[in-house]
């Protein structure tokens, strides 16, 4: 696999994602572990799919009324990780989740 000298985290992520997709097309490379603080105060992990990413952040979709959606509404601190074991690479992202515009969310679920 190629390496990049770009120290911009988003450019670095994009390069790694591209390389992993190219080297292991059978893998679902957009699968990420999303960690939230559950309504009961304990950490919760689940797998969600990265739908897109931009310089502003990473996008995934969830039902606002699910336990995950309610947990994020209560405490929007989250972490996401990508474990690309076949490529011996891992990425950890820490930040705050925000709702995207309603029309984009509704369009996805239609």
What was the pLDDT predicted at 108? 65
What is the residue-level pLDDT of the chain in tens, covering all 110 positions?
Answer: 555 565 789 999 999 999 999 999 989 999 999 999 999 999 999 999 999 999 889 999 998 999 999 999 999 999 999 999 999 999 999 999 999 887 777 776 66
Residue 68 tokens read as 């995950």
pTM for the full predicted model: 0.84
Query: How open is the CA angle 6-54-56, to the nearest 5 degrees?
Result: 95
Q: Compute the distance between CA of residue 38 and CA of residue 73 in angstroms, rounded to an integer.
A: 10
What was the pLDDT predicted at 101? 82
Contacts of 71 (CB under 8 A, 6+ apart): 36, 37, 38, 39, 44
**For 40-45, which contacts have Cβ atoms below 8 Å and span 24 or more sequence positions?**
44/68, 44/71
Asked if residue 59 lies in contact with residue 51, where contact means CB atoms within 8 angstroms, the answer is: yes
């Amino acid at each position: 696999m190629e390496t990049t000298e770009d120290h911009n985290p988003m450019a670095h992520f994009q390069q790694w994602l591209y390389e992993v997709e190219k080297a292991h097309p059978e893998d679902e490379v957009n699968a990420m572990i999303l960690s939230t603080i559950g309504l009961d105060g304990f950490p919760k992990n689940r797998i969600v799919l990265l739908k897109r990413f931009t310089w502003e952040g990473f996008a995934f979709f969830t039902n606002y009324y699910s336990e995950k959606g309610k947990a994020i509404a209560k405490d929007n601190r989250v972490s996401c990780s990508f474990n690309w074991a076949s490529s011996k690479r891992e990425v950890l992202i820490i930040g705050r989740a925000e709702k995207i515009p309603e029309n984009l969310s509704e369009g996805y679920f239609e």
